[in-house]
Protein backbone atom coordinates (compact mmCIF):
# COMPACT_ATOMS: atom_id res chain seq x y z
CA UNK A 1 0.00 0.00 0.00
CA UNK A 2 1.67 3.19 -1.23
CA UNK A 3 0.38 5.94 1.04
CA UNK A 4 2.28 8.66 -0.84
CA UNK A 5 -0.23 8.78 -3.68
CA UNK A 6 -3.50 8.14 -1.82
CA UNK A 7 -5.82 10.49 0.04
CA UNK A 8 -5.76 9.91 3.77
CA UNK A 9 -8.72 10.79 5.98
CA UNK A 10 -7.73 11.34 9.59
CA UNK A 11 -10.80 10.12 11.51
CA UNK A 12 -9.30 10.80 14.94
CA UNK A 13 -10.67 13.70 17.01
CA UNK A 14 -8.04 16.02 18.46
CA UNK A 15 -7.27 15.12 22.07
CA UNK A 16 -7.24 18.07 24.46
CA UNK A 17 -8.45 18.90 27.99
CA UNK A 18 -11.69 20.09 26.37
CA UNK A 19 -12.54 16.64 25.00
CA UNK A 20 -15.77 15.21 26.39
CA UNK A 21 -15.73 11.84 28.17
CA UNK A 22 -18.49 9.71 29.65
CA UNK A 23 -19.78 11.50 32.76
CA UNK A 24 -17.70 10.33 35.72
CA UNK A 25 -14.80 9.10 33.59
CA UNK A 26 -11.31 10.63 33.73
CA UNK A 27 -10.82 13.68 31.54
CA UNK A 28 -7.60 14.26 29.62
CA UNK A 29 -4.96 16.24 31.51
CA UNK A 30 -1.48 17.13 30.31
CA UNK A 31 1.07 18.63 32.69
CA UNK A 32 4.71 19.56 32.12
CA UNK A 33 7.52 18.30 34.33
CA UNK A 34 10.14 20.24 32.35
CA UNK A 35 9.82 23.02 29.79
CA UNK A 36 11.89 25.54 27.87
CA UNK A 37 9.82 28.29 29.47
CA UNK A 38 11.13 27.18 32.87
CA UNK A 39 14.70 27.23 31.61
CA UNK A 40 15.00 23.46 31.22
CA UNK A 41 17.01 21.89 28.41
CA UNK A 42 14.00 19.96 27.08
CA UNK A 43 10.25 19.66 27.23
CA UNK A 44 8.84 16.73 29.23
CA UNK A 45 5.20 16.10 30.05
CA UNK A 46 2.86 13.49 31.46
CA UNK A 47 -0.80 12.72 30.86
CA UNK A 48 -3.68 11.39 32.92
CA UNK A 49 -6.76 10.17 31.10
CA UNK A 50 -9.31 7.45 30.52
CA UNK A 51 -8.22 4.86 27.95
CA UNK A 52 -11.67 5.34 26.35
CA UNK A 53 -10.56 8.68 24.94
CA UNK A 54 -11.66 9.97 21.57
CA UNK A 55 -11.08 7.37 18.87
CA UNK A 56 -10.47 4.18 20.81
CA UNK A 57 -10.62 0.42 20.61
CA UNK A 58 -12.49 -1.52 23.29
CA UNK A 59 -10.98 -4.82 24.39
CA UNK A 60 -13.25 -7.75 25.36
CA UNK A 61 -12.12 -7.33 28.99
CA UNK A 62 -14.10 -4.07 29.02
CA UNK A 63 -17.45 -5.84 28.68
CA UNK A 64 -16.90 -9.45 29.72
CA UNK A 65 -15.20 -10.95 32.79
CA UNK A 66 -13.48 -13.57 30.63
CA UNK A 67 -12.42 -11.19 27.87
CA UNK A 68 -8.80 -10.57 26.91
CA UNK A 69 -7.18 -7.19 27.40
CA UNK A 70 -6.11 -4.91 24.59
CA UNK A 71 -2.50 -6.05 24.20
CA UNK A 72 -3.73 -9.57 23.40
CA UNK A 73 -5.91 -8.53 20.47
CA UNK A 74 -4.95 -9.51 16.93
CA UNK A 75 -3.69 -6.39 15.15
CA UNK A 76 -5.16 -7.65 11.88
CA UNK A 77 -8.56 -6.69 13.27
CA UNK A 78 -7.59 -3.02 13.06
CA UNK A 79 -5.89 -3.09 9.64
CA UNK A 80 -7.48 -3.60 6.24
CA UNK A 81 -10.54 -2.90 4.15
CA UNK A 82 -13.31 -0.97 5.89
CA UNK A 83 -16.63 0.34 4.64
CA UNK A 84 -18.15 3.65 5.74
CA UNK A 85 -21.96 3.59 5.79
CA UNK A 86 -24.13 6.62 6.55
CA UNK A 87 -27.27 6.10 8.65
CA UNK A 88 -29.86 8.87 8.65
CA UNK A 89 -32.11 8.02 11.58
CA UNK A 90 -33.13 10.07 14.59
CA UNK A 91 -30.81 10.54 17.55
CA UNK A 92 -31.08 8.04 20.37
CA UNK A 93 -31.90 5.30 17.85
CA UNK A 94 -30.37 1.84 17.70
CA UNK A 95 -29.41 1.14 14.10
CA UNK A 96 -31.52 -1.74 12.85
CA UNK A 97 -30.78 -4.00 9.90
CA UNK A 98 -33.60 -2.30 7.99
CA UNK A 99 -31.77 1.04 8.33
CA UNK A 100 -28.87 -0.22 6.20
CA UNK A 101 -29.55 0.57 2.56
CA UNK A 102 -26.33 -0.76 1.08
CA UNK A 103 -24.58 -4.10 0.67
CA UNK A 104 -21.83 -5.00 3.11
CA UNK A 105 -18.61 -4.96 1.09
CA UNK A 106 -15.80 -5.14 3.64
CA UNK A 107 -14.86 -7.07 6.80
CA UNK A 108 -14.79 -3.84 8.81
CA UNK A 109 -17.78 -1.49 8.91
CA UNK A 110 -17.85 2.06 10.27
CA UNK A 111 -21.23 3.73 10.78
CA UNK A 112 -21.51 7.46 10.16
CA UNK A 113 -24.45 8.75 12.19
CA UNK A 114 -23.50 12.40 12.75
CA UNK A 115 -25.26 12.04 16.13
CA UNK A 116 -22.23 13.03 18.24
CA UNK A 117 -21.11 16.04 16.19
CA UNK A 118 -18.70 17.72 18.62
CA UNK A 119 -16.10 15.59 20.46
CA UNK A 120 -15.65 18.47 22.92
CA UNK A 121 -19.35 18.59 23.87
CA UNK A 122 -21.15 15.67 25.49
CA UNK A 123 -24.63 14.75 24.26
CA UNK A 124 -26.50 11.70 25.53
CA UNK A 125 -28.79 11.14 22.55
CA UNK A 126 -26.25 9.63 20.16
CA UNK A 127 -27.11 6.59 18.03
CA UNK A 128 -25.95 3.06 18.77
CA UNK A 129 -26.00 -0.38 17.18
CA UNK A 130 -28.55 -3.17 17.62
CA UNK A 131 -28.22 -6.88 18.36
CA UNK A 132 -29.85 -7.86 15.06
CA UNK A 133 -27.38 -5.70 13.14
CA UNK A 134 -24.40 -7.29 14.90
CA UNK A 135 -25.72 -10.77 14.13
CA UNK A 136 -26.14 -9.86 10.46
CA UNK A 137 -22.66 -8.35 10.23
CA UNK A 138 -21.18 -11.43 11.86
CA UNK A 139 -22.93 -13.65 9.31
CA UNK A 140 -21.43 -11.47 6.57
CA UNK A 141 -17.92 -12.08 7.88
CA UNK A 142 -17.42 -8.66 9.46
CA UNK A 143 -14.55 -8.61 11.99
CA UNK A 144 -14.72 -5.02 13.30
CA UNK A 145 -17.57 -2.60 13.87
CA UNK A 146 -17.05 1.10 14.41
CA UNK A 147 -19.20 4.14 15.04
CA UNK A 148 -18.79 7.92 15.24
CA UNK A 149 -20.16 8.04 18.80
CA UNK A 150 -18.65 7.24 22.21
CA UNK A 151 -20.26 3.79 22.34
CA UNK A 152 -21.84 1.03 20.27
CA UNK A 153 -24.52 0.98 22.99
CA UNK A 154 -26.84 3.81 24.02
CA UNK A 155 -25.57 6.25 26.63
CA UNK A 156 -27.92 5.01 29.36
CA UNK A 157 -27.54 1.27 28.66
CA UNK A 158 -26.26 -0.42 31.83
CA UNK A 159 -26.63 -3.94 30.38
CA UNK A 160 -24.39 -3.26 27.35
CA UNK A 161 -26.48 -5.54 25.20
CA UNK A 162 -24.58 -4.87 21.98
CA UNK A 163 -21.16 -5.09 23.62
CA UNK A 164 -22.17 -8.53 24.91
CA UNK A 165 -23.45 -9.62 21.50
CA UNK A 166 -20.16 -8.47 20.00
CA UNK A 167 -18.33 -10.57 22.59
CA UNK A 168 -20.26 -13.66 21.45
CA UNK A 169 -19.29 -12.95 17.83
CA UNK A 170 -15.68 -12.05 18.75
CA UNK A 171 -15.74 -8.80 16.79
CA UNK A 172 -13.49 -5.81 17.43
CA UNK A 173 -14.91 -2.43 18.45
CA UNK A 174 -13.81 1.01 17.30
CA UNK A 175 -15.61 3.97 18.89
CA UNK A 176 -15.37 7.74 18.80
CA UNK A 177 -14.12 8.16 15.24
CA UNK A 178 -14.94 11.27 13.19
CA UNK A 179 -16.52 10.45 9.83
CA UNK A 180 -18.24 13.73 8.91
CA UNK A 181 -15.83 14.46 6.04
CA UNK A 182 -15.58 10.89 4.75
CA UNK A 183 -17.80 9.87 1.80
CA UNK A 184 -19.43 6.47 1.96
CA UNK A 185 -17.35 3.75 0.39
CA UNK A 186 -14.57 1.24 0.98
CA UNK A 187 -11.16 2.30 2.31
CA UNK A 188 -8.10 0.86 4.00
CA UNK A 189 -8.36 1.30 7.78
CA UNK A 190 -5.36 1.78 10.06
CA UNK A 191 -6.38 2.07 13.73
CA UNK A 192 -3.80 0.31 15.89
CA UNK A 193 -4.33 0.25 19.67
CA UNK A 194 -1.43 0.80 22.02
CA UNK A 195 0.11 -2.29 23.61
CA UNK A 196 -1.17 -1.51 27.11
CA UNK A 197 -0.73 -4.51 29.39
CA UNK A 198 -4.00 -5.42 31.09
CA UNK A 199 -5.93 -2.42 29.72
CA UNK A 200 -9.57 -2.80 28.70
CA UNK A 201 -9.23 -0.25 25.88
CA UNK A 202 -6.75 1.98 24.09
CA UNK A 203 -6.82 5.28 22.25
CA UNK A 204 -5.92 4.92 18.56
CA UNK A 205 -4.80 7.20 15.73
CA UNK A 206 -7.37 6.11 13.18
CA UNK A 207 -7.07 6.86 9.49
CA UNK A 208 -8.83 5.76 6.33
CA UNK A 209 -6.79 5.51 3.15
CA UNK A 210 -8.53 5.90 -0.19
CA UNK A 211 -8.27 2.78 -2.34
Q: What is the pLDDT of residues 167-198, one digit of tens each?
A: 999 999 999 999 999 999 999 999 999 999 99
Query: 78 in a domain, yes or no?
Result: yes
What is the tens place of the pLDDT at every residue in 12-52?
999 999 999 999 999 999 999 999 999 999 999 999 999 99
Residue 30 lies in a domain: no
> Does 129 map to a domain?
yes
Q: Residue 46 falls within a domain, yes or no?
A: no
Selected catalytic residue, list 62, 64, 121, 163: 62
pLDDT value at 4 more than 90: no
How many domains does one find in the chain?
1
Q: What is the CATH number of the domain that holds 116?
A: 3.50.30.50
**Mean pLDDT throughout 74-98?**
97
Residue 174 lies in a domain: yes
Residue 200 lies in a domain: yes
* Residue 44 included in any domain: no
- What's the pLDDT score for residue 2? 60
Portion of the chain with pLDDT greater than 90, in percent: 97
pLDDT band, residue 1 (cuts 50/70/90): low
Task: Give me the domain span that covers residue 172.
Answer: 3-17+51-210
| 70 within a domain of the structure (yes/no) | yes
DSSP string, the chain: --GGGS-EEE-PPPP-TT---STTSPPPEEEEEE-TTTT-SS-EEEEE--SS-SSEEE-GGGT-TTPPPGGGS-GGGGEEEEEEEE----TTPEEPGGG--S---SSEEEEE--SS--TTS--S---EE-HHHHHHHHHTT--EEEESSS-SS-TT-SS-HHHHHHHHHT-EEEES---TTPPSEEEEEE-PBP--TT-SEEEB--EEEE-
Active site residue 52: no
Amino acid sequence: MNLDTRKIYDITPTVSPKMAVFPGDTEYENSYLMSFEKGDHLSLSKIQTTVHLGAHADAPSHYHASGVSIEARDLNLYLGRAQVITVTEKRGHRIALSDIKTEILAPRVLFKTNSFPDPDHWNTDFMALSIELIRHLHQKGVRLVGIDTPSVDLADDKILEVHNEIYKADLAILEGVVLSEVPDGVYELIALPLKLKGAEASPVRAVLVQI
